[in-house]
Amino acid sequence: MPSYLGAIGTANPLHRIAQPQIADFMAQALALDEHDTRKLRALYRVSGIAHRYSVVPDYGRANGEYTFFPNTPDLEPFPTVGQRMAVYRREALPLATAAVRATLRQVPDVAPASITHLVTVSCTGMYAPGLDIELVQALGLRPDVRRTCVNFMGCYAAMNAVKLADAFCRADATARVLIVSVELCTLHFQKSPGEDHLVSNALFGDGAAAGLVQAEPLPNGAPSLALQAFHCGLEPDGHDDMAWHINDFGFEMTLSSYVPKLIQRGIRHLTDGLLNSLPVQLADIRHFAIHPGGRKILETIEAELGLTPDDNRHAYHVLRDYGNMSSATVLFVLREVLAHSSPADYGAPVLSFAFGPGLTMEAMLLEISAGSALAGHTHEQALTPAQSTFTQQPSAPVLSVH
């Protein structure tokens, strides 16, 4: 029997910054001349991103008003890893907690004390005792909840968290697994005009997502995603084209322009590897949840698999409204799939992809499933995301919660 990914909640920091504002910050920070500034602004215009969220307000401010970067023309002394991790530790917990509470509001019958497993995911910050232990205390989880941390794997890491949760639930039908992904990508801005850094600075934003996995679908008619199958592929030729390293002044992303070509070369093989042993063909699939690593990646997959932009609409919407939030992003896309499903979609397969260093390509097949009962909330009531703000404590930042 499959396990089910049901309620998915998301949260973002207070600071929602338009892409052109971020481009202006970058041009100033990199001291670009007029010609290179025009090129940079063109890159931001074609990114497919309208705005991104950040725990750092500076990206939407002029020099002289910065609170994280130095108010100097060259941003020196540039923030160290230690300074960036101090912000991560301060901001990650309230953001993750808000995403969890947005999840649990959708399942009022699930008490925090009934959670048996906690899987935390992040590649943009680490400390110990870590986020997992702080979440146990902040949420009132049982002290004996089984904790697993998935760290530093990159954008595909949430797929591994879902696989772990699925394994826990298949081994124990009473398991309730809470997945929490939090990524503060914008802490790692690199003051470099290199192509890799220009591209990554144009794409990444901050966000958190949480999901509940259990051995049965949600009650009251709310749809869930039945976890059907997983498959992983590697393109070793891309070892140096997508990478993530800890250096003296932040975590540095390598993201070369060759990545879409590597994905193009491997995506059909990845899809076939997932579907070959299943009674599902690509032609049967009309719902997709593809990690929007960038507009070019989405377009490349469409061309290779014969998809349309409408097939990919959920990924484009997330890319437009949030940018690439590393591991949390695919959960935002899956939330869109659930939020826009209808009873006519019950039983329909969903194909999901995510990518990361290695070059790693992960695939997952899910199925939209009806809730275990139709009493209580209507389908529309269960799916309407709560738009509110959450403050964990008086000193915590206000968060955008969905």
Residues designated as active site: 155
CA distance 263 to 246: 25
CA distance 51 to 31: 23
Is there a contact between 196 and 255 (Cβ–Cβ < 8 Å)? yes
Task: Give the chain's radius of gyration (CA, Å).
Answer: 20
Cβ atoms < 10 Å from Cβ of 205: 28
* Residue in the structure block whose two tokens are 């002394």: 77
Please, how many CA atoms are within 13 Å of residue 289, restricted to the half-sphere of its CB? 30
Residues whose CB falls within 8 Å of the CB of residue 111, separated by 6 or more in sequence, listed in order: none
User: What kind and span of H or E run contains 303?
Assistant: helix 295-305
- Specify the amino acid at residue 291: H
Q: What single DSSP character describes residue 79? A: P
Tokens matching residue 9? 């909640």
CA 188 to chain centre: 16
CA distance 69 to 185: 15
Please, how many CA atoms are within 13 Å of residue 253, restricted to the half-sphere of its CB? 31
Tokens matching residue 72? 């100097």
DSSP-based three-state secondary structure for 348: coil
